[in-house]
Amino acid sequence: MVHFRKRIFKHAFFESARGGKDNIFSAKRAVRIDWIESVLNDFEAERYLGWDKLKKKYSRDRRVTIVKGDYVVVIAITGKNRADFITAFVADTPPRTGRLSTIQQIRNGPKWV
């Protein structure tokens, strides 16, 4: 079971304006809201360990799933058969000089087993 906390909704379906924080509703993200359930139930989807920013390492308590080439859903594992929804987004950020694109960074990480 995956829980969807109210405070996470804004992060997942809003985008930041210049200097803002998740303050503009994102139609691009919202049109894919129904995909989240499909992603969570798709056993053929690509799955990777998530990155823990604080510990600066991959963590088994985060799972990153990719479908349709660039749609990403992130959940935090909170117990046996329990998780919290973290975010969902289209990973369309292009690579910058000396850095990989978001989707390349995810795919370079360890697979979820």
- Confidence (pLDDT) at 49: 97
Q: Count, in order, helices (H) and strands (E) of the chain.
A: 4, 7
Tokens found for residue 11: 């992060």
Residue 65 domain flag: yes
Confidence of residue 29 (pLDDT cuts 50, 70, 90): confident
Tokens found for residue 28: 């691009």
Residue 20 domain flag: yes
End-to-end CA distance of the chain: give it in Å, rounded. 19
Number of structural domains the chain divides into: 1
- pLDDT, one tens digit per residue, over 44-86 is 999 999 998 899 999 999 999 999 888 999 999 999 889 999 9
Residue 112 domain flag: no
Give me the mean pLDDT over the 9-32 stretch: 75
- Confidence (pLDDT) at 19: 63
- Confidence (pLDDT) at 104: 92
pTM: 0.83
Residue 113 domain flag: no
Domain containing 63: what range?
A: 2-107
Pick the more confident residue, 15 or 104: 104
Residue 37 domain flag: yes
Residue 18 domain flag: yes
Q: 14, 93 in Cβ contact below 8 A?
A: no
Residue 40 domain flag: yes
Give me the mean pLDDT over the 24-37 stretch: 84
Confidence of residue 22 (pLDDT cuts 50, 70, 90): low
Residue 61 domain flag: yes
Q: What is the DSSP letter of 111?
A: B
For residue 23, give the 3-state DSSP assignment. coil
